[in-house]
């Protein structure tokens, strides 16, 4: 057979199809060379995989993990710095002090520092009825607070945290383990708080970082009411170290490596708790509240798992546990905010005197839902975010939620 028309005037030659033997008998033939090339490639691949496995084992080794967080992971008593003298920061200081750690609280207010050091009382945030032990001191100097600390407990508002870490990163050692108790998403960059703390908006570097979350009102921690929380860290030795430093007969710490689930569970339940407060403010009954919390749990699970969290984390203390606390607990600022909105108070007036993490988190939650293609599957998040943004009236929420197309559970 011949080719079709010649190309560019060049006369084509007939194409002769010949069948070559599959494997010529000559040991130095094409097949033998191909086989040896393949074997060499396989050996190179195996060597590369061995090197990768060795590197991974080195990264996870106790020696490397210990280096990432100083050399004190196995020490029983350490210095613990608490950033923030609010209610929860004070509660974390008390938890650490009860376990005989040296505790230094950083506070901006000199009057609060003087009261803690001289009277052993935090005069603010409903903490004035509790006497602090003598191993808790306070300072307005960040460098003094973190100097020599084996653990930094971060208890500042989520939206202010990245700027704080950026401002003070030079006095915070890059090997010290930080455990954040803030429950919120970062509005400015619409991202996880961990991303904001470690990114350009914050420290701008790698840093051992963990997150503590769960159903835990500060006042009840101070009262030694049995409380259970979970701490999540990328490296399990970090989580276990925090667990051992803080756990007691009244404060039980569980561990996980699902940091995304811990962060999202603790943050995303806040706007849902605002919604629970709205239901309470409208005077609706327990039927409505139970239905809302149940369906909200499903939305929480759906969004968190879509973002990379684990379902079992959301089913635990950081998810459902914290949602139950803030939806039904009278001490919840998010729930109280929802009630005050329904009673006619302006949102800006509420936020002027109270930190309500659920308000900025509602906007970021909707952003995450859109990224995951779930905007039509998060009706409760949508209703709460709409009321907070002023695009939906509270009386319209019932029609929006109850009038949706019917479906199966």
Task: Give catalytic residue positions.
Answer: 269
The structure tokens listed for 404 are: 């949706």
For residue 154, give every residue at least 6 positions away whose Cβ sits within 8 Å of its Cβ, in sequence order, or none.
83, 84, 161, 178, 179, 180, 181, 182
Torsion of CA 356, 123, 226, 215, to 10 degrees: 10
Structural contact between residues 293 and 319, judged by C-beta atoms closer than 8 angstroms: no
**C-alpha distance across the termini of the chain, in Å:** 67
Structural contact between residues 15 and 2, judged by C-beta atoms closer than 8 angstroms: yes
Structural contact between residues 319 and 215, judged by C-beta atoms closer than 8 angstroms: no
Residue 228, Cβ density class (10 Å: 0-12 exposed, 13-18 middle, ≥19 buried): middle
Nearest by Cα to 327 from 297, 351, 301: 297
Q: What are the angstrom distances between the C-alpha of 254 and each of 83, 213, 231, 238? A: 22, 10, 6, 12
Q: What are the angstrom distances between the C-alpha of 143 and each of 104, 148, 216? A: 11, 10, 29
Q: How far apart are CA 277 and CA 334, in angstroms?
A: 7
How far from chain centre, in Å, is Cα 122?
Answer: 28
Using alpha carbons only, give the angle 318, 323, 327 rounded to the nearest 5 degrees.
155
Residue 206, Cβ density class (10 Å: 0-12 exposed, 13-18 middle, ≥19 buried): exposed
Using alpha carbons only, give the angle 214, 354, 326 rounded to the nearest 5 degrees.
30
For residue 277, give every residue at least 6 positions away whose Cβ sits within 8 Å of its Cβ, in sequence order, or none.
332, 334, 335, 336, 337, 338, 339, 340, 341, 342
For residue 209, give every residue at least 6 positions away whose Cβ sits within 8 Å of its Cβ, in sequence order, or none.
177, 178, 179, 180, 194, 197, 198, 233, 234, 259
């Amino acid at each position: 057979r011949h080719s079709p028309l010649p190309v560019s005037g060049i006369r084509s030659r007939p194409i002769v199809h010949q069948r070559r033997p599959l494997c010529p008998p000559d040991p130095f033939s094409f097949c033998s060379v191909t086989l040896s090339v393949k074997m060499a490639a396989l050996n190179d691949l195996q060597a590369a995989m061995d090197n990768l496995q060795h590197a991974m084992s080195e990264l996870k080794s106790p020696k490397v993990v210990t280096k990432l967080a100083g050399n004190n992971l196995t020490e029983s008593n350490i210095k613990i710095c608490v950033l923030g003298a609010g209610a929860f920061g004070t509660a974390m200081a008390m938890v650490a002090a009860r376990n005989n750690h040296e505790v230094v609280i950083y506070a901006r207010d000199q009057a609060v520092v003087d009261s803690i050091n001289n009277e052993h009382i935090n005069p603010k945030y409903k903490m004035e009825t509790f006497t602090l032990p003598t191993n808790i001191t306070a300072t307005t100097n960040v460098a003094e607070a973190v100097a020599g600390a084996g653990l930094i407990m971060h208890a500042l508002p989520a939206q202010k945290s990245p700027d704080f870490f950026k401002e003070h990163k030079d006095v915070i050692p890059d090997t010290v383990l930080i455990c954040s108790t803030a429950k919120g998403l970062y509005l400015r960059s619409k991202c996880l708080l961990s991303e904001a703390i470690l990114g350009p908006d914050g420290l701008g570097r790698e840093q051992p970082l963990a997150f503590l979350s769960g159903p835990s009102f500060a006042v009840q921690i101070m009262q030694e009411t049995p409380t259970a929380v979970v701490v999540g860290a990328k490296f399990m030795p970090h989580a276990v170290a925090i667990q051992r430093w803080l756990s007691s007969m009244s404060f039980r710490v569980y561990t996980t490596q699902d940091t995304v689930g811990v962060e999202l569970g603790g943050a995303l339940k806040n706007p849902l708790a605002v919604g629970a407060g709205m239901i309470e403010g409208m005077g609706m009954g327990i039927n409505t509240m139970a239905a809302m919390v149940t369906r909200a749990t499903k939305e929480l699970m759906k969004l968190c798992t879509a973002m990379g969290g684990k379902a079992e984390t959301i089913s635990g203390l950081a998810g459902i546990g914290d949602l139950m606390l803030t939806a039904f607990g009278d001490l919840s600022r998010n729930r109280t905010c929802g009630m005050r909105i329904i009673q006619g108070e302006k949102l800006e007036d509420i936020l002027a005197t109270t930190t309500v993490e659920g308000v900025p988190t509602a906007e970021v939650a909707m952003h995450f839902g859109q990224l995951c293609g779930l905007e039509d599957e998060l009706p409760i998040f949508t209703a709460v975010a709409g009321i907070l943004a002023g695009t939906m009236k509270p009386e319209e929420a019932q029609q929006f939620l109850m009038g949706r197309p019917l479906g199966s559970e």
